[in-house]
Amino acid sequence: MLGEAFYIQFKNDFELKCTDKDVNEDWLSFIDIRDFDRYKQDVQDFKPDYLFHLGAYTDLEFCENNIDETYLTNTLAVENAVYMANSLKIPILYISTAGIFDGNKNTYDDWDIPNPLGVYARSKYMGERFVVENASRYIICRAGWMMGSGPKKDKKFIQKLMKQIKDGKKELFIVKDKDGTPTYTHDFAQTVKALIEKKYWGLYNCVCGGQTSRLEVATELISLLGLANEIEIIPVESNFFKNVYFAERPASERLITKKLNLRGLSKMKDWRVSLKEYIDNYYKGYLD
C-alpha cells in the first residue's frame, strides 16, 4: 500500500529501485528483506543515497499466530537495514505505527512512551527502538489507520468496507469502541519527501488531521458514496468480531503530529479531505 504511493510521489525526482517479495507491478523487482545477504547485495549494487525500509507484516492475527516469522520480518530485517545504511553512510527511513501505544490515553504525541500490547506492536516497537539507538541518520514516521492504493493493494479498513458494499451488503457492523487517526499514503509520502529535503532527521507522528473512530470513518465513507439511505451502519462492541480479530488492539490509536506541525512541514490533510481524495482517485466505477 505505502510503496505504491512512494513510487508515485518520488519517481519524477529520484532514481528508484523498488522491491517486494510479491512482484505484481512492472516497477518492482524481487527481494525478500529477511534474506540479509541478498538484500545487502542489492542495496550495495544500487548505491542509493537513501534506504527506505517499508516492508512489514501488518496483519495482527497473522503475527499472533506466526511469532518467529513476525520478529524475523518486522524486527531483525530492520536491524539488517540499519547495518546496511550505516555501512553506506546513508539515512534510513523506517515506518512505525500508532499501534505501539497501549490506548490508555486519548491521544499520543511524538514524545509519549510506547507500551505495545501484542506481537505485531512489540515487533514494530523493537524495530523503532533499534533504529533510534543504532542508525547514524534516520527518519521514523509513525502511521495510523492506513488507507491507499485502492482495490488491488489496500488490505485495510476502507477496502474491507468497499468490498462489502460491492458485494451487496446493506448492513455494515462497525466497532464503536476503537479510536484512531486515518493516514493517507500519498500525504504520508509527501511529508517524508519534505523531511528529506530539509534533512530533518528524527522521529515523527505522521497521520491525517482530526481525531476520529472506526464508526465515524465508516459513516463518512457511506456519506461520500451517497449511500446513507441505502446502507445501515450497526454499531457493535469489538468482541462482536472476537473470533476473527482476536489480537489485542488498543482502544485509542490517536496520534497528534506535534513535531511536524511545530516544524511547519506536515503535508497531512484532514482525514475527511484525504478520504474523499482517496475514493475519488482509486474507486471510480468500483461499485458499478
Model pLDDT for residues 189-207, shown as the tens digit of each residue: 999 999 999 999 999 999 9
Nearest to 234 by CA among 252, 250, 206, 214: 214
160, 205, 196, 154: which is closest to 3 by C-alpha? 154
Domain-wise residue ranges, the chain: 2-282
Tens digit of each residue's pLDDT (9 = 90 or more) over 226-245 = 999 999 999 999 999 988 89
Q: How confident is the model at residue 252 (pLDDT cuts 50, 70, 90)?
A: very high
- Is pLDDT above 90 for 211? no
Q: Is 13 helix (H, G, I), strand (E, B) or coil?
A: coil
Confidence (pTM): 0.94
- Residue 120 has which C-alpha cell? 505485531
Which DSSP letter does residue 30 get? E
Would you tell me the crossing angle of helices 2-10 and 185-198 to the nearest 10 degrees? 50
Helix (H) or strand (E) holding 192, with range, is helix 185-198
Pick the CATH number of 2-282 from 3.30.70.380, 3.40.50.720, 3.40.50.300, 3.30.70.260: 3.40.50.720
Contact 204, 192 (CB under 8 A): no
**Amino acid residing at 101:** F
The cell numbers describing 21, all together, are 517479495
Q: Mean of the pLDDT values across residues 152-180?
A: 94
The owner of cell 484532514 is 270
Calpha distance 104→263 (Å, rounded): 28
What digits encode the pLDDT tens for the residues 133-145?
Answer: 999 999 999 999 9
Q: Taking 90 as the threshold, does the pLDDT of residue 288 lie above it?
A: no
The C-alpha atoms of residue 278 and residue 158 are separated, in whole angstroms, by 10
Number of CB atoms found within 10 A of residue 71's CB: 18
pLDDT band at residue 67 under the 50/70/90 scheme: very high
Q: What are the residues facing 50 on neighbouring strands?
A: none
